[in-house]
Structure 1
């Protein structure tokens, strides 16, 4: 009995400690859930979910299933949810199942999705756009349902690596064009639903798939139905323009007989063979007996054919001359009709695309919201919804002391920025747009730009809270970020205590990169910033970066003088292709971001006439030295006093070199830049845990990739 005390102690230790064990959800999963919750407009249906804090696994958030500390399943279908899917889905590294079907989720499918999903169900929502190429990276996916949405355009080759996919449902959308070649690589797919779209072409790409269910009804498919698809157990193909029944295979050696019909028997090969063989035998059996007869018949037939050919040649020449003038007279009429039809078709296509465009219409599109213009210059009504608050001129004058000089905090090409103090105690930033900087058409489109900008939602983008459009005035009301700009912090910080540490600089770069990634790869169509520079990166008290002026490219200046004025301030950030041709794309933003990273690395301005001629242009001076370790060490901002990890510095320089390449096609997308910076932050976090606390500024966010906070 001596073992009993030990046994009781062991029993108490094992079972008595169970109630005190508390699951802590992975921080990245918590943040991703919070972003999703905010993107869905914080619905009360998601009980337990919170905008900040909380422990989803321990507190049993509605629809969330965990294994240990990792979120492995999110099932929130049929809850009447609104909003979007959010931009942080790629943070769910352990998520296996995501079901948000049967809701009212709108906008485009995010560019980045949970990489290890096995099941994704977004059916019965209002998603627009196309399937993102990130689908091709989800190699574990075996169920994908995007049916009953508003998805459109030609389906891209996004199925290349989905070798485990068993069920694919793209039905009841607006897809057009031929089937992508990558569909033919789905080696395990058994159920494929493509009905009720506008798909065209043939089904030949599907013949080698192990299908048991195939539904292609109500599309615009044409041609023969491949013989291989006859064996599919459940094959529905009505509502298309196929050529009668399944296609007959071609005869192995001889061409089909002239009298063959398309409605041939199920096994036409053998039938054709029996018809050809007797004909051949009959000819040979009579050849020895009747050679003279055949010779005479051949001569007569040859003469008749020759006469017929001559007569036909004369007839053709005569008809050609007779119809020449008629053809000329009719051709112009046919051309104008064709042109008119093409123009109508093109206009219809443009309107269709504009109807599903979200943040910023493509240049070819021309939205025409219904408006009523009053005599005082105010815009009374707009079809597109504006989520920002409408302010009066009087209220903004009161908040800025009649736009006094003392309240000015900045000035740009579109006008001045004022600090505004409202009676409720809130502080805002007011951008007063100079009317001379806008053409009449741009004034008329002001509310469209406001509508688009008010829907930009990202923790690293300055939020547009309101606007004013009355008495001919155009003003934008932003959240106030009161710690100054990155430009001021780098170039005008006199106190040594305000020097940015190396880790803080990397995090500022990461936050800014995330903002650009959101604009380029989440918004549909992509939003090009066009004026990225350190003066437009604002810092809060924790040194979190907030990118300003997002979406203002829609209100670009309308004169040569104003364009040149704008570019003087950002010339050192402009990509080479813009200076040469005036073309500006998302890759031009990537170049500007590379210049910002150079400023963070060196502490120098992009253009500095006070330096020797060879060092006045930051990019020209720094680029050749980015891969030289010794030269790189000499380039670093001297205010860092050597307090930086050498490897981190080298990797930071590698990213810069990619971003500032002269050829835009060789610059990486911002999603790749983000991933590279994330790895830098993670490595720096590991090092920091083993080192003493840093001096100067530091982030108060968690040690891992924690820049994406809830809105």
Structure 2
């Protein structure tokens, strides 16, 4: 049967067709070959197109790789345009890095050349780009420049991440190390509001505030460029894996508290309009190699004129640090920062998070637990067990008292930051005086003992 079938198939395939009188098997072979050639030709077209796009992209990168040198000078505040804020024009979403869509707010020239400009002066802009606007201070960065500094915002360069943006470590073309915060764009922040706040914050300079070096505004993208502080943040040193004994001694912790207070006092009382930080927490307190505190992250800061008691805004901040009246009403003023600072002080003293659900129910909320411990006269039991040595009793009680006053449920009863500094510095002065007296007394005792020993030796020599 199989032999019959094979012969039948061969007979059918050998039949002549109407296509040039060719056998059927020849026609089938030609069709299969043509199909294979068509597939190969399609693959060749796709590969060629991909290679051409890659070549154009490389040529574009070579043509746009130069970046201007950046100066580090920051001027003091001289004035503020206090005209009413206007609604922003809807932002246009763009693809990252397109030069023709760049919008740069600048008073810098390329190649390291620097001069002050006004809104009517012109700056070198790529052909076809929109008109350049000016904030009147600081330094502008292009998106491509910051992409190059952070290796195209690579994950390995992320040094911080929160609900309002991601912070990257970057190295500029002049080898300046910076922290680049890429703000999230879905928060609806008005364009003019962004400009005013960046202008104000960018002009301030204080040793306990992280300097804002510049900014990048391109289409829908908003980036802030800060100085880089190289010893991490307070949250890492309080809650990270630092071993059984913390390197943060009591004196270091008090220095961090005092430095943070001075930075906030400058924002609240040294500027007009005053600046309310709005997100005071341990991860926003950066530390240098000498453990000096620098308040960072002004991306959420709000301005408050002296004639205003508060500004109404959507509630922003971090759970556990937000003042109760601000969380309930959205009415923000500097007392909101003072509450957050009080929580921060408690966190530094105890080494605990503001809210920790892994603890027993009565200890979950740091503020409530600490209030009950102090009320039960158990102040010594709230100290971070990782401290190398227990703090002086007077110092501990004084700092706890200041912290409790800062978190008073009645915002009007909370002290201003200037008064907080006065109370903290008075405590430090008292401790220094006590230590100096103790050291002098100890020195006098040693000298007296040495004199007595010398006298006894002389008397024994006379007797002999």
Confirm whether residue 390 of structure 1 aligns to residue 137 of structure 2: no
Residue 624 of structure 1 deviates from its aligned partner by 2.9
8 A Cα contact 1:453 1:464, kept in partner: yes
Partner of 1:376: 101
Q: Secondary structure at the match of 1:639?
A: coil
Residue 385 of structure 1 deviates from its aligned partner by 4.2
Confirm whether residue 482 of structure 1 aligns to residue 201 of structure 2: no
Structure 1 Cα separation of the partners of residues 437 and 387 of structure 2: 20
Partner of 1:644: 391
Partner of 1:366: 85
Counterpart of 1:462 (choices 187, 190, 210) is: 210
8 A Cα contact 2:230 2:289, kept in partner: yes
Deviations 1:630-657 (A, max 9, x none): x111111111154311100010111011
Task: Compute the TM-score of the two structures, normalised by the length of structure 1.
Answer: 0.43
Deviations 1:20-42 (A, max 9, x none): xxxxxxxxxxxxxxxxxxx997x
Partner of 1:595: 343
Counterpart of 2:284 (choices 527, 533, 536) is: 536
Q: Secondary structure at the match of 1:420?
A: strand
Task: Compute the TM-score of the two structures, normalised by the length of structure 2.
Answer: 0.64
Counterpart of 2:361 (choices 613, 619, 630) is: 613
Distance change >3 Å, CA 605–CA 490, structure 1 → 2? same
8 A Cα contact 1:453 1:551, kept in partner: no
Distance change >3 Å, CA 465–CA 628, structure 1 → 2? same
Structure 2 Cα separation of the partners of residues 681 and 493 of structure 1: 29
Partner of 2:6: none
Distance change >3 Å, CA 375–CA 446, structure 1 → 2? farther
Instruction: Please give the residue correspondences for 1:346-495 in structure 2 after superposition, counting only pairs within 5 Å.
Output: 355=81, 357=82, 365-366=84-85, 376=101, 378-379=103-104, 385-437=135-187, 439=188, 442-495=190-243
Residue 448 of structure 1 deviates from its aligned partner by 2.4
8 A Cα contact 1:511 1:544, kept in partner: yes
Q: Secondary structure at the match of 2:349?
A: helix
Instruction: Please give the residue correspondences for 1:192-207 in structure 2 after superposition, counting only pairs within 5 Å.
Output: none
Distance change >3 Å, CA 473–CA 625, structure 1 → 2? same
In structure 2, runs of 5+ residues without a counterpart are: 1-72, 93-98, 107-117, 120-133, 304-313, 440-464
Distance change >3 Å, CA 443–CA 375, structure 1 → 2? farther
Distance change >3 Å, CA 639–CA 425, structure 1 → 2? same
Structure 2 Cα separation of the partners of residues 387 and 691 of structure 1: 52
Deviations 1:401-444 (A, max 9, x none): 1111000000122210000012322210000112223x2x6245
Structure 2 Cα separation of the partners of residues 554 and 651 of structure 1: 31
Structure 2 Cα separation of the partners of residues 676 and 624 of structure 1: 23
Partner of 1:682: 429
Partner of 1:586: 334
Structure 1 Cα separation of the partners of residues 215 and 327 of structure 2: 33
Structure 2 Cα separation of the partners of residues 661 and 554 of structure 1: 22
Q: Secondary structure at the match of 1:512?
A: helix
Distance change >3 Å, CA 498–CA 653, structure 1 → 2? closer
Structure 1 Cα separation of the partners of residues 170 and 250 of structure 2: 33
Partner of 2:379: 632
Structure 1 Cα separation of the partners of residues 415 and 392 of structure 2: 24
Distance change >3 Å, CA 500–CA 376, structure 1 → 2? same
Residue 610 of structure 1 deviates from its aligned partner by 0.2
Structure 2 Cα separation of the partners of residues 366 and 397 of structure 1: 31
8 A Cα contact 2:88 2:191, kept in partner: no
Q: Secondary structure at the match of 1:511?
A: helix
Structure 1 Cα separation of the partners of residues 321 and 245 of structure 2: 28
8 A Cα contact 1:452 1:551, kept in partner: no
Distance change >3 Å, CA 423–CA 385, structure 1 → 2? closer
Structure 2 Cα separation of the partners of residues 40 and 394 of structure 1: 23
8 A Cα contact 1:533 1:593, kept in partner: yes
Structure 2 Cα separation of the partners of residues 507 and 674 of structure 1: 11
Deviations 1:5-31 (A, max 9, x none): xxxxxxxxxxxxxxxxxxxxxxxxxxx
Q: Secondary structure at the match of 1:469?
A: strand
In structure 1, runs of 5+ residues without a counterpart are: 1-38, 42-82, 85-105, 108-353, 556-562, 693-711
Distance change >3 Å, CA 580–CA 459, structure 1 → 2? same
Structure 2 Cα separation of the partners of residues 410 and 637 of structure 1: 25
Distance change >3 Å, CA 689–CA 427, structure 1 → 2? farther
Confirm whether residue 575 of structure 1 aligns to residue 294 of structure 2: no
8 A Cα contact 1:377 1:472, kept in partner: no
Q: Secondary structure at the match of 1:592?
A: helix
Structure 2 Cα separation of the partners of residues 653 and 445 of structure 1: 38
8 A Cα contact 2:355 2:365, kept in partner: yes
Deviations 1:369-400 (A, max 9, x none): 99xx9972515578574422111111111111
Residue 525 of structure 1 deviates from its aligned partner by 1.5
Instruction: Please give the residue correspondences for 1:546-565 in structure 2 after superposition, counting only pairs within 5 Å.
Output: 546-550=294-298, 552-554=300-302
Structure 1 Cα separation of the partners of residues 438 and 216 of structure 2: 51
Residue 689 of structure 1 deviates from its aligned partner by 4.9
Q: Secondary structure at the match of 2:215?
A: strand
Structure 1 Cα separation of the partners of residues 357 and 74 of structure 2: 50
Q: Secondary structure at the match of 1:435?
A: coil
Count of aligned pairs: 324
